[in-house]
Amino acid sequence: MRADAGIARSQLGREPGDFYPLAVGNQWTYEVKLVQVRVAADGSETLLGESAYPLELSIECTTQIEGHEWFIERIHHMTAGIEPKFRALRQDRDGLHALERLHSTDPCGSVPSLDGTLPVQELRYPLRPGVTWTMDDDRFAFGPTIATVEAHEVIVTPAGRFPTVRIRVERARPAVSPTTTEHRWYGRQGLIAIEVRTEAAIGGLPGAISRFITSVRLTSLHQTGSLARRIPRTSPGALIAQVGSR
């Protein structure tokens, strides 16, 4: 990946309310790569394992939920034993909102139930460095997930070169958990890349750590529609209240 803040800023300027490309038929394909290494006290690394598989995201349809139009996204980890999952997305001047954990095998054929869904503010507009927000507050986790815009960058993936915003995602974890760093890169073409690094000390080997890296890189995209049309403003608090009232 390569940083070029000036170019990225100049090409990410049309905000708020029309940043993420929500249109039925849009499709993104990624390579998910999993790497585990052992890092010795002297800094030398030993590869312990490496694997990769494709991931496909696609906008399947729209549906009405609580009086608003939502776009249904299909998430398909294309590896053995993992069934496709769905979530709902909508965009307004405040940002990109999601309803995770839709419990439906056919959300395009019926109105999905909101029971058990998790409201998430995926992005908060405008995406300027220093902007921070609470993405979600999952009652089954240890606390809220916080996102912070760190920089504008131009990055290179197998699908090409994209102006993006780099966002750091911090999830609440118990004090004894491994150290985890997560970053996501978004552009006007959608989600471009994710990288999660987790490090933990190795018992019995002073100074040695185990490092696990999950990287997601865009390999191809197909856009059938333009950017999502503007949707009336809805505050994150109102969204959470709608879901919580069910």
Q: What is the pLDDT of residues 122-134, one digit of tens each?
A: 999 999 999 999 9
Is residue 79 a contact partner of residue 218, using CB atoms and an 8 Å limit? Answer: no
Looking at residue 87, which CATH number applies to its domain? 2.40.360
Range of the domain at 172: 5-244
* pLDDT class of 136 with cuts at 50, 70, 90: confident
Least confident of 144-158, 160-174, 187-201, 228-242: 228-242
The residue type found at 203 is G
**Distance from C-alpha of 56 to C-alpha of 222, rounded to nearest angstrom:** 11
pLDDT digits (tens, 9 = 90+) for 51-80: 999 999 999 999 888 888 999 999 999 987
Least confident of 2-11, 49-58, 93-102, 143-152: 2-11
The residue type found at 92 is D
pLDDT digits (tens, 9 = 90+) for 171-223: 877 655 678 899 999 999 999 999 999 998 888 888 899 999 999 999 999 98
- Report the number of distinct structural domains present in the chain: 1
Q: Is residue 223 helix, strand or coil?
A: coil
**Distance from C-alpha of 174 to C-alpha of 141, rounded to nearest angstrom:** 10
Is residue 94 a contact partner of residue 233, using CB atoms and an 8 Å limit? Answer: yes
**Distance from C-alpha of 107 to C-alpha of 12, rounded to nearest angstrom:** 32
- Looking at the chain, the whole-number percentage of residues with pLDDT higher than 90 is 56
Using the predicted structure, report yes or no on whether residue 242 has a pLDDT greater than 50: no
Using the predicted structure, report yes or no on whether residue 86 has a pLDDT greater than 50: yes
**Distance from C-alpha of 22 to C-alpha of 95, rounded to nearest angstrom:** 12
Q: What is the pLDDT of residue 13?
A: 57
- Looking at the chain, the whole-number percentage of residues with pLDDT higher than 70 is 80
The residue-averaged pLDDT of 141-148 equals 85
Is residue 195 a contact partner of residue 26, using CB atoms and an 8 Å limit? Answer: no
| Other CB atoms within 10 Å distance of the CB of residue 240 | 17
**Distance from C-alpha of 111 to C-alpha of 88, rounded to nearest angstrom:** 11
